[in-house]
Amino acid sequence: MAKRRDVLFPNLDYTDAEKEWVGMPEFIQEERKPYREIAVRFTCEKDVRKFAKRIKRTVTSKTKFIWYSKLDFKSRDVRRRYIDES
C-alpha cells in the first residue's frame, strides 16, 4: 500500500520536478559498445574458477558479462560530460 507524501514528509512543500530542472545542464552519456563479444562456455564450476583466476577477475553465479581488460572508471568518465546550452 502506497503511503501518502504528506504523511511521510509533513513539512515538505510540494515541488514540481519539471520546474526544478529548468536551467540545469544537459547530461549526455554515450553508450560504450564492445569491440568484440565472445561467448565462453564452461563444463563445470572448477573451469569457471580457473578462468576467473587466469584473467584476474571475480566471476560469480550472477555474472552475466565482464569487460576485459577491466574498465578504468576514471578514464571512462572522460566520455561523460555536461553541455551548457545557454
Per-residue pLDDT tens digits for 19-63? 878 888 888 878 878 889 999 999 999 999 999 999 999 999 999
- Answer yes or no: is 76 within a domain: yes
Q: CB of 52 within 8 A of CB of 59?
A: yes
28 inside domain? no
Residue span of the structural domain in which 42 resides: 36-86
pTM over 0.85: no
Does a structural domain hold residue 31?
A: no
The Cα 17–Cα 15 span in angstroms is 6
User: pLDDT band for position 79 (50/70/90)?
Assistant: low
Within a domain: residue 20?
A: no
- So what's the pLDDT on residue 50? 96
- How long is the chain? 86
Q: Is 14 among the domain residues? A: no
Look at residue 29 and tell me if it is in a domain: no
Structural domain includes residue 82:
yes
Res 32: pLDDT:
77
| Residue 15 belongs to a domain | no
- Distances in Å between the Cα of 38 and the Cα atoms of 29, 32, 47 are 25, 16, 17
Domain count, the chain: 1
